[in-house]
Amino acid sequence: MKFGILIQDGPYNHEAGDSAYNFVVAALAKGHEITGIFFYNDGVLNATRFMDPPTDDRNIVKRWSELGAKGIDIIVCIAAAKRRGIIDANLAPNIRISGLGQLVDLTLNADRMITFGG
Amino acid sequence: MAEDAKKIMFVMQKPPHGSIYPYEGLEFILISGAYEQDISLVFLGDGVYNLKKDQDTSELGIKGFVKTYRTLEGYDIENIYVDQNSLKDRGLTQEDLIVDVKVKTAPEINSLMNEQHAIFPF
């Protein structure tokens, strides 16, 4: 099955991003396809490359970058990003900034859209 | 609407100004409106306050976006549903709302949700 993922909450503060990550990893392991991961609302804060948690904690942005390196399309909403100071200069590798139209495309291409957070 | 249009529903369940979710939700709704899909909105719980007439955000220092709901018609988004009990519980009637809505019971909203390709909560 093709899954599209929408993440509406920021890293660490809520579990949404962790649940989304675990879902994506599990879905890929079962042979499903991810049509894309879209960060909206405070979710865009998942994409800053300056994230630097204590070493005994998970590094949330590193996990997203690693998924991106595997070819998963990871998109940050430009309007939501600009509000919150996320720009190309602080964007983590393998994540791109684009418009909300990409979320529509990702939705139309997916069998199921799953929203985390909000 | 496109021939192969898919049903996409937006569920507004938060009040308009306590968080950015409804405002950014509406931005997504307007973008989606350009894609010729079969779009509907449902207002549930405190989300019904999004449509309350005569809101003034000037003292909050927050941009008032509620009037933007009136532009939905221009995007051919005409399926706007409001949960009957959510309105009633808050002492509101259809006359208090800034757009024309279809009032539905919870079971009716449930069956509408079952028809959707995708549902987005805001």
Q: Are A21 and A63 in contact (CB under 8 A)?
A: yes
Cα separations in angstroms, A64 against A24, A46, A61, A70, A115: 10, 8, 5, 10, 16
Per residue in A47-95, pLDDT tens? 999 999 999 999 999 999 999 999 999 999 999 999 999 999 999 999 9
> How many Cβ atoms from other residues are within 10 Å of residue B76's Cβ?
13
Is the dihedral angle over the CA atoms A79, A84, A90, A93 positive or is it negative? negative
Max Cα-Cα span within chain A: 39
- Contact of A1 with chain B, judged by CB distance below 8 Å, is answered with no
The confidence band for B1, taking pLDDT boundaries of 50, 70 and 90, is confident
Gap between the Cα atoms of A62 and A75, Å rounded: 15
The CATH number of domain B7-121 is 3.40.50.280? no
Among this protein's residues, is A10 annotated catalytic? no
Distance of CA A54 to CAs A51, A57, A58, Å? Answer: 10, 6, 8
Among A16, A20, A77, A81, the active-site one is: A77
Smallest Cβ–Cβ distance between B24 and the set A40, A108, A112 belongs to: A40
The single-letter code of the amino acid at A15 is: E
Smallest CA–CA distance from B6 into chain A, residue: A108
ipTM above 0.90, yes or no: yes
Q: How many domains does chain A have?
A: 1
Q: Say how far apart CA A51 and CA B47 lie, in whole Å.
A: 34
Angle between helices A16-29 and A60-69 (to 10 degrees): 30
Per-residue pLDDT reduced to its tens digit, A20-55: 999 999 999 999 999 999 999 999 999 999 999 999
- Residue A44 is classified by DSSP as G
For B6, the closest of A40, A41, A108 (CB atoms) is A108
Q: Where along chain B do its domains lie?
A: 7-121
In terms of Cα–Cα distance, which of B9, B87, B23, B10 is closest to B52?
B87
Reported as a pLDDT band with limits 50, 70 and 90, residue A118 is confident
Domain around A43: 2-116
* CATH number for the domain that contains residue A84: 3.40.1260.10
Of B27, B37, B118, the CB nearest to A100: B27
Cβ atoms A116, A16 nearer than 8 A: yes
- Which residues of chain A does B4 touch, with a Cβ-Cβ cutoff of 8 Å? none
What is residue A71's predicted lDDT score, i.e. its pLDDT?
97
- Is A103 in the B-facing interface, judged by CB distances under 8 Å? yes
Cβ-based contacts under 8 A for chains A and B? 44
Interface contact B106, partner A, CB < 8 A: no
CB B77 within 8 A of CB B38: no
**CA–CA gap between residue A73 and residue B38 (Å, rounded):** 26
Question: H/E element holding A64?
Answer: helix A60-69
Closest by CA to B39, choosing from B86, B84, B1, is B1
